[in-house]
Amino acid sequence: MGYIVRVDIDYYAQYFAFEHNDWWFVARRRIVFELISGFLKEPGAQHRVLDAGCGTGITLQHLAQFGQAFGVDNEPVALDFCKMRKERRLTCAALEDLPYPDGAFDVVTCLDVIEHIEDDERAVAEVCRVIRPGGLLALTVPAFQSLWSDHDVINHHKRRYRRRQIRQLLGEGFTIELLSHYNTHLLPIAVTVRMLKKLEMKLFPAAVRQVKAENTYLPRSINSLFASIFGSEVFWLKRGSFPVGLSIICIARRKGESEFLSPGTPCRGV
């Protein structure tokens, strides 16, 4: 979550309470952070890290393990929730016009953000600009426009992506270390649910309800199971890539004076 414009405070309050333990957020953090750790050249060093589109700040809070963590979001309400997590290195700004100098950060995360932005090309260009040569970008987005559902409407998405679109957005200035679908193991369940909902709306149009931004709390056992299933995908992402999935993850390194690949490290899923 992050970078969702003009949403009422209740929306952010739901996410603030939801993100800490919900299976999807827990597993995404595990995957992203383990992959970042694997590609950092100096994993024990103190890095300058930016969470671009930080939302209510749960990712920002965990990024402190890598060094000084900074957050930027265009929604003041979201930053108020970040402050409730005791985060202080916060900036209110649009991703299309970041108020940071070139190469200001060693690592930038942009997790499920650019699908909310009309001009995603400009936003990605700005995010890339503030990464130093040799620095890392961790980017996640929802995959496949054919999987569009109420979830996308609720969260004010503009689009879903294919891997080739991510390559195009990054351009020639980055070396892609990993570009893969993920949230793959639970894809059959998600597709089935989406199909049933579409069928329901087609058969019973009078019963179509107004889409509301409500999160569903699963029973603890199921929540833990889903977190384990989704989170376990990091094992395979360290070794290869998935051809399909609900989402796309990209780890890319900015080209420049620093060597961008460790010896013998292949680019995966490109």
**Residue 156 falls inside a structural domain:** yes
Tokens 């400009």 locate to 122
Give the residue numbers spanning the domain of 33.
Answer: 9-254
Q: In Å, how far from its chain's centre is CA 248?
A: 9
DSSP 174-205: EEEEEEEEE--TTHHHHHHHHHHHHHHHHH-G
Q: What is the pLDDT of residue 262?
A: 39
- Taking phi over 0 as left and psi of -120 to 50 as alpha, with beta for the rest, 168 belongs to alpha
Label residue 266 by pLDDT band (50, 70, 90).
very low
**Residue 64 falls inside a structural domain:** yes
CATH number at residue 80: 3.40.50.150
H helices of the chain, where?
9-18, 23-39, 58-63, 76-84, 120-129, 150-154, 163-170, 187-203, 220-231, 233-237
**Residue 116 falls inside a structural domain:** yes
**Residue 263 falls inside a structural domain:** no
pTM: 0.87
**Residue 270 falls inside a structural domain:** no
Number of domains in the chain: 1
Interval 239-243 mean pLDDT: 97
How does the average pLDDT of the chain come out, rounded? 89
Q: What is the pLDDT of residue 264?
A: 35
**Residue 89 falls inside a structural domain:** yes
| Cβ-contact 61, 19 below 8 angstroms | no
For residue 123 the two structure tokens come to 């936003």
**Residue 99 falls inside a structural domain:** yes
**Residue 66 falls inside a structural domain:** yes
Torsions phi, psi of 16, nearest 5? -55, -40
